[in-house]
């Protein structure tokens, strides 16, 4: 992928779309110096890649104006054209006062979300004012985006600082396409539940049309968090979440670097001269290791130094001939970073005083930031690059190191906990917590044959060449283009539309179709405990005097009639295969032939799932449900693979769907809820208008059946329905609406 190819794609698809990027940090900072105002340009690879995109198509970048001369360089709308002289796009600055910076940035962003997502729970520190500042700052970013957005704009939001902004933007402008890229890991629910205000964070992010993660596992973890804390409709197969009528798609887009640029910089004469100078200036021995990090506890610098300490102790023949150069640029100059910095420096100097000699230092510790054009010399001259993150979204240093290895002589030691480990074959993987194995790995790499090193490095580099930053941007923008062309279907808030509905429906005869679990009764741990409350039962009893009423359920007919206990209404059980008309039962087909197959499947599932606690297999005669609400999240992977394995190959006979922590197994030819609605309407509903409410994926058949010929309402939102109510608790108000009509 070349930058030119990407630009051509963007020109074609986005030149009319006005791209708006929002990030915490700005791409150009204006600073006051003695010599006047100075502009500092993009530091990281990502910023410069996004900068190139906007230079190609124009658009707007919204960011916190943090430079000392930032206010002096903007117009009355807080905008400045960048880059200077080129005026390719607009940088719009958001102003945050010191209190907001403390609460939003140093507080909720860096003391709650950052440690949380890196599973460093003991580093979380929360104050209520952090949250208030976070919401306020997000409001300011969202407001700036709304001011800049045109019709048809695409808003591309970056990272964990801006979780609430998508919801705020979508509430005001549902027509805008919003994509959020999450640069850091997303933990599973057992970790994320520790987050103070976690539901608001998730709700905020569900304002996006697309959320991009570094790896599929982070998207799966996000889904897991939604499933456990928000009443939304989840489609595991298509990785979509529908909440309050809006659908969000999740997808992994592993980030990368500008490979060509690193390779070109590293192959230059300038770099060759720089390597000679560095070796002389730093008194480097024949073998060199390199670490390049922000001074950040998640990067595992302490573990790396512990491993190096043990390495020099165990493999003393390397003393005097191998030095490790650590570039550690301090960031976030506050606690806990100040203490961490002291600890790292003390450990480095401890190793030096233990093993160092007057003319050799085992650790050369440098705490300055180095431009990428100078950094490549460090990468290229190293025999070993070490990355030891305790958890990391991706880690671009891994890719930069490989791209700079134009002589293919260096080898990468990479933490298994870094996202890059999932992507890069050819590296030597280590567990940063396993100090001895880590130290041994350094020894193995330093003794590795030249052939093996070259082979490993070639494999590594090939993967980055094929997946560079331009491909990453292209993949994301292609997804955006496809989402906006398909236009994810939206549904409307039932209560917001109630005045209009009142007008339309009050003169009509209605037939109310009510789903049970998750609609009339809240979702519960087990099917027996999902009960309907007295108030709801009383309202249905009153409604049946006014309209025709049917209860439609996935449960067996007998079971659902027992649970509801209301006479003189219609019932459909087993997802519509069994229907009770008030005085007789109708069975849609004869199921004797599939019954034995279903029994076999259930028997196998029972046998193979016995060791997983919490699985509940419900045999409903014609159909079956496998509930896993009570199964530990850690066992989900195994459960899913056993389930898939057992049900594989029976697609011609059974239709398998997933709902709220349940798999449904239904004969392909069995009626679904849509068929049941059609049959009941044909036989008993002449002259009435159907109104259907349900919460699950199995209700989609009924929503589709109703189409424009009635009113379809989902609990939590489902793109197939026309309206939604937000939660199960609101269903009672929905029923009252019809009582009052």
CB of 184 to ligand ADQ, least distance (A): 5
Q: In what order do the strands lie in the sheet with 19-22?
A: 79-82, 89-94, 60-64, 19-22, 154-158, 177-181, 210-213, 246-252, 240-243, 233-235
Map the footprint of ligand ADQ across residues 312-331, applying CB under 6 A: 327, 329
What minimum distance in Å lies between the beta carbon of 421 and ligand ADQ?
11
- Nearest-approach distance from CB 113 to ligand ADQ, in angstroms: 12
Least Å from the CB of residue 372 to ligand ADQ: 6
- β-pairing, 624-627 vs 662-667, is antiparallel
- Choose which of 140, 210, 220, 394 interacts with ligand ADQ (CB under 6 A): 394
In the complex with ligand ADQ, the residue whose CB is nearer, 168 or 305, is 305
**Does the protein bind ligand ADQ through residue 582 (CB under 6 A)?**
no
Minimum Å gap between C-beta 313 and ligand ADQ is: 27
Kindly indicate which of the ranges 218-226, 391-399, 469-477, 506-514 contains the residues binding ligand ADQ, using the contact rule CB under 6 A.
391-399
Hey, which residues between 18 and 47 contact ligand ADQ (CB under 6 A)?
Answer: 44-46
Instruction: Work out the number of other CB atoms within 10 angstroms of the CB of residue 34.
Output: 5
* Coil vs helix vs strand at 374: helix
Closest CA to 335 of 502, 544, 529, 107: 107
Burial of 489 (0-12, 13-18, 19+ CB in 10 A): middle
Select 154 or 184, whichever has its Cβ closest to ligand ADQ: 184
Min dist CB 252 to ligand ADQ, Å, is 12
- Helices assigned H by DSSP within 118-255: 128-148, 165-172, 189-192, 198-205, 216-229
* Residues in 182-241 at the binding interface with ligand ADQ, rule: CB under 6 A: 183-184
Pairwise CA distance, residues 3 & 597, whole Å? 56
Nearest distance from C-beta of residue 348 to ligand ADQ, angstroms: 14
Which residues from 402-431 bind ligand ADQ, rule CB under 6 A? Answer: 419
For residues 82 and 65, the answer to whether their CB atoms sit within 8 Å is no
Which DSSP string corresponds to 198-231?
A: HHHHHHHHTT-SEEEESSHHHHHHHHHHHHHH--
Mark the segment that binds ligand ADQ (CB under 6 A) among 223-231, 305-313, 392-400, 717-725.
392-400
Which residue number, 397 or 713, has a Cβ lying nearer to ligand ADQ?
A: 397
Edge-to-edge strands, sheet with 662-667: 616-619, 624-627, 662-667, 654-659
DSSP 111: I
Q: Give the shortest CB-345-to-ligand ADQ separation in angstroms.
A: 14
**By three-state DSSP, how is residue 726 classified?**
coil
Question: Within 356-385, which residues bind ligand ADQ (CB under 6 A)?
Answer: 369-370, 375
Q: Say if residue 545 is exposed, middle or buried (CB neighbours under 10 Å; 0-12, 13-18, 19+).
A: exposed
Q: How many CA atoms lie within 13 A of 97 on its CB side?
A: 3
By CB under 6 A, residue 617 contacts ligand ADQ: no
Site for ligand ADQ in 501-560 (CB under 6 A): none
Instruction: Tell me which H or E stretch contains 538.
Output: helix 534-543
* Count of residues touching ligand ADQ (by CB under 6 A): 22
Closest CA to 324 of 296, 297, 298, 344: 344
Site for ligand ADQ in 428-467 (CB under 6 A): none
Residue 679 near residue 597, CB atoms below 8 Å: no
Q: Does 116 bind ligand ADQ (CB under 6 A)?
A: no
Q: Which residues contact 404 (CB under 8 A, 6 or more apart)?
A: 262, 263, 265, 266, 375, 376, 379, 380
Residues in the chain: 741
| Binding flag, residue 111, ligand ADQ (CB under 6 A) | no
Residue from 117, 142, 223, 255 touching ligand ADQ (CB under 6 A): that is 255
- Burial code (b: 16+ CB inside 10 Å, e: under 16) for 414-428 equals bbebbbbbebbebbb
Residues 274-293 that bind ligand ADQ (CB under 6 A): 292-293
Distance in Å, CB of 153 to ligand ADQ, minimum:
23
Pick one of 149, 211, 250, 396: the residue that binds ligand ADQ (CB under 6 A): 396
Q: Can you tell me the distance from the alpha carbon of 718 to that of 703, in angstroms, rounded to the nearest whole number? A: 9
CB of 261 to ligand ADQ, least distance (A): 12
Percent helix, strand, coil in the chain (nearest 5)? Answer: 45, 20, 35
Could you say which of 397, 477, 491, 706 contacts ligand ADQ (CB under 6 A)?
397
* From candidates 227, 235, 392, 664, binder to ligand ADQ by CB under 6 A: 392
Nearer to ligand ADQ, 396 or 639 (CB): 396
Distance of closest approach, residue 394 Cβ to ligand ADQ, in angstroms: 3
Q: Which is nearer to ligand ADQ, 191 or 735 (by Cβ)?
A: 191
Q: Which is nearer to ligand ADQ, 48 or 726 (CB)?
A: 48
**C-beta of 310: minimal distance to ligand ADQ in Å?**
24
Summarize as ranges the residues that interact with ligand ADQ (CB under 6 A): 44-46, 183-184, 255, 292-294, 327, 329, 369-370, 375, 392-397, 400, 419
């Amino acid at each position: 992928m070349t930058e030119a190819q990407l630009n051509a794609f963007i020109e074609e698809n986005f030149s009319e779309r006005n791209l708006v990027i929002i990030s915490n940090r700005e791409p150009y900072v204006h600073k006051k110096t003695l010599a006047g105002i100075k502009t500092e340009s993009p530091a990281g690879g990502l910023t410069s890649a996004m900068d190139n995109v906007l230079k190609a198509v124009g658009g707007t970048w919204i960011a916190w104006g943090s430079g000392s001369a930032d206010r002096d360089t903007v117009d009355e709308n807080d905008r400045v054209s960048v880059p200077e002289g080129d005026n390719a796009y607009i940088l719009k600055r958001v102003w945050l006062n010191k209190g907001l910076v403390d609460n939003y940035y140093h507080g909720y962003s860096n003391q709650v979300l950052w440690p949380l997502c890196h599973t460093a729970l003991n580093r979380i520190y929360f104050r209520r004012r952090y949250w208030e500042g976070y919401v306020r700052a997000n409001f300011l970013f969202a407001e700036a985006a709304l001011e800049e957005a045109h019709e048809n704009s695409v808003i591309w939001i970056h990272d964990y600082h801006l979780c609430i902004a998508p919801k705020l933007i979508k509430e005001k402008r549902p027509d805008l396409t919003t994509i959020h890229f999450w640069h850091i890991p997303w933990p599973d629910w057992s970790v994320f539940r520790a987050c103070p205000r976690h539901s608001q964070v998730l709700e905020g992010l569900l304002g996006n049309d697309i959320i991009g993660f570094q790896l599929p596992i982070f998207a799966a973890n996000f889904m897991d968090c939604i499933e456990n804390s928000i009443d939304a409709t989840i489609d595991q197969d298509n990785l979509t979440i529908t909440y309050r009528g809006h659908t969000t798609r999740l997808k992994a887009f592993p980030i990368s670097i500008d490979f060509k640029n690193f390779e070109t910089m590293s192959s230059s004469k300038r770099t060759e001269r720089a390597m000679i100078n560095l070796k002389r200036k730093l008194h480097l021995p024949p073998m060199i290791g390199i670490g390049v990090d922000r001074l950040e506890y998640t990067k595992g610098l302490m573990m790396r130094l512990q491993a190096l300490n043990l390495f020099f102790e165990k493999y003393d023949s390397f003393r005097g001939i191998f030095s490790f150069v650590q570039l550690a640029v301090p960031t976030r100059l506050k606690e806990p970073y100040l203490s961490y910095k002291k600890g790292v420096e003390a450990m480095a100097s401890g190793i030096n005083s233990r093993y160092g000699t007057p003319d050799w230092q085992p650790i050369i510790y440098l705490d300055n930031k180095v431009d990428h054009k100078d950094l490549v010399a460090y990468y290229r001259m190293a025999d070993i690059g070490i990355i030891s993150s305790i958890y990391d979204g991706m880690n671009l240093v891994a890719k930069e190191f490989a791209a700079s290895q134009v002589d293919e002589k260096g080898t990468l030691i990479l933490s298994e906990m870094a996202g890059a480990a999932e992507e890069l074959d050819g590296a030597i993987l280590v567990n940063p917590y396993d100090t001895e194995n880590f130290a041994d790995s350094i020894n193995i790499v330093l003794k590795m044959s030249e052939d093996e090193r070259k082979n490993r490095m070639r494999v590594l580099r090939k993967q980055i060449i094929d997946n560079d930053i331009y491909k990453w941007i292209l993949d994301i923008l292609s997804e955006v283009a496809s989402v906006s062309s398909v236009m994810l279907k939206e549904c409307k808030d039932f209560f917001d539309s109630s005045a209009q509905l009142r007008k339309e429906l009050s003169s009509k005869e209605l037939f109310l179709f009510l789903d049970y679990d998750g609609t009339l009764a809240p979702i519960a741990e087990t099917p027996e405990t999902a009960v309907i409350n007295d108030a709801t039962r009383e309202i249905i009893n009153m409604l049946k005097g006014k309209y025709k009423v049917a209860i439609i359920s996935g449960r067996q007919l007998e079971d659902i009639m027992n649970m509801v206990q209301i006479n003189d209404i219609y019932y459909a059980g087993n997802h519509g295969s069994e229907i009770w008309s008030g005085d007789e039962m109708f069975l849609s087909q004869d199921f004797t032939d599939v019954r034995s197959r279903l029994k076999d499947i259930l028997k196998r599932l029972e046998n193979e799932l016995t060791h997983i606690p919490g699985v509940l297999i419900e045999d409903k005669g014609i159909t079956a449900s496998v509930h896993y609400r009570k199964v530990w999240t850690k066992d989900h992977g195994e459960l899913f693979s056993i389930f898939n394995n057992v049900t594989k190959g029976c697609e011609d006979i059974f239709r398998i769907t997933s709902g709220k922590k349940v798999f449904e197994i239904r004969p392909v030819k069995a009626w679904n809820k849509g068929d049941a609605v059609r049959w009941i309407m044909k036989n008993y509903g002449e002259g009435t208008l159907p109104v259907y409410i349900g919460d699950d994926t199995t209700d989609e058949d009924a929503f589709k059946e109703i189409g424009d010929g009635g009113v379809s309402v989902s609990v939590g939102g489902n793109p197939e329905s026309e309206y939604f109510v937000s939660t199960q608790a609101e269903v009672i108000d929905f029923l009252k609406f019809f009582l009052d009509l």
